[in-house]
């Protein structure tokens, strides 16, 4: 049968930009694109991660593929614009963008969610995806077309209690991609979103290390395993490639079937901090009153 991850090609000569490409899903996507022949530019906030990521991409890349990186905070418009310009400089075009930068840094009851945490999570996820689209799409239009993929989450489709702004932010990414697909289709630019479930990355180590959380996640997945970055990279590779030339305006899940059931139960790790009443919107644990 052969190696299922052996180079297959099909993206030769294409120029791609991957935000959040220094680690996790973004890095996995960048590796897959370069393996199949695309010139890849990655961006992110950590220069150390980007440099190490670029090494991993080059090690997997097809012959002749160019790999470069640029430090960029996706919440800063001028930095995103610079990343797009650098990606386009390789060939004069950009045919693919995967907007993978995102994440969250706060868990707890919505009634206790600080406004600055709400805004911070929305900014890195929604603003970051919007800015990548805003600046890359015109380059694609001038070049005759391209494919943009926003990275959402199952949390954007199924309620994930106590995830704060993360679920709303991912829902917004999906809405943005659908709107952009309708606007840009006439120019040959396809826009889709991918909705991963629980994927093994540095950001999810804490979740999968706690048996009660890991087991509850797995209980919600008909396929019964944690996803790998390669699972998401394969879907993104398909969406930016010629095989998906008639696909736009779609939100496609890769989650082991998790969307068929419910979001995870994080109460085992949050009750200790907030208390049962606090998780229900009442006074948090230890509050005076």
What residues are annotated to the active site?
A: 166
Write the CA distances from 275 to 6, 68, 109, integer angstroms: 50, 48, 10
Please choose, from the candidates 62, 93, 77, 69, the residue with its C-alpha nearest in 3D space to the C-alpha of residue 20.
Answer: 69
Are the C-beta atoms of 24 and 202 separated by less than 8 Å?
Answer: yes
Q: What DSSP character marks residue 62?
A: P
What sign for the dihedral angle of Cα 164, 166, 171, 176?
Answer: positive
> Across-strand partners of 70?
43
Given phi > 0 = left and psi -120 to 50 = alpha, else beta, which region is 185? Answer: alpha
Alpha carbon distances (Å) from 169 to 103, 159, 164, 251, 252: 10, 12, 9, 15, 17
Tell me how far apart the alpha carbons of residues 83 and 8 are, in angstroms, rounded to a whole number. Answer: 28
Question: To 10 degrees, what angle do helices 211-219 and 267-279 make?
Answer: 90
């Amino acid at each position: 049968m052969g190696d299922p991850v052996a180079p297959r090609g099909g993206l030769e000569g294409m120029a791609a930009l991957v935000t959040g490409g220094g680690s996790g899903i973004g890095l996995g996507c960048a590796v897959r694109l370069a393996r199949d022949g695309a010139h890849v530019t990655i961006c992110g906030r950590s220069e150390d991660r980007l440099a190490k990521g670029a090494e991993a991409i080059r090690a997997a890349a097809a012959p002749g593929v160019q790999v470069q990186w640029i430090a960029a905070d996706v919440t800063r418009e001028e930095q995103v614009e610079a990343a797009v310009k650098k990606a386009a400089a390789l060939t004069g075009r950009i045919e693919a963008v995967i907007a993978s930068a995102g994440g969250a840094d706060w868990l707890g009851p919505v009634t206790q969610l600080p406004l600055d945490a709400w805004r911070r999570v929305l900014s890195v996820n929604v603003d970051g995806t919007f800015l990548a689209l805003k600046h890359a799409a015109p380059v694609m239009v001038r070049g005759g077309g391209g494919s943009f993929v926003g990275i959402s989450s199952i949390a954007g489709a199924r309620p994930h209690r106590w995830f704060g702004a993360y679920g709303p932010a991912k829902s917004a990414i999906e809405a943005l991609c659908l709107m952009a697909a309708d606007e840009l289709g006439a120019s040959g630019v396809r826009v889709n979103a991918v909705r991963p479930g629980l994927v093994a990355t540095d950001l999810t180590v804490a979740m999968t290390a706690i048996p009660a959380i890991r087991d509850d996640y797995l209980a919600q997945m008909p396929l019964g395993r944690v996803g790998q970055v390669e699972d998401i990279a394969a879907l993104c590779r398909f969406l930016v490639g010629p095989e998906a030339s008639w696909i736009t305006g779609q939100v496609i899940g890769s989650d082991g079937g998790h969307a068929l059931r419910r979001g995870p139960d994080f109460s085992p790790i949050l009750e200790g901090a907030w208390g049962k009443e606090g998780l229900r919107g009442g006074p948090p644990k230890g509050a005076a009153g």
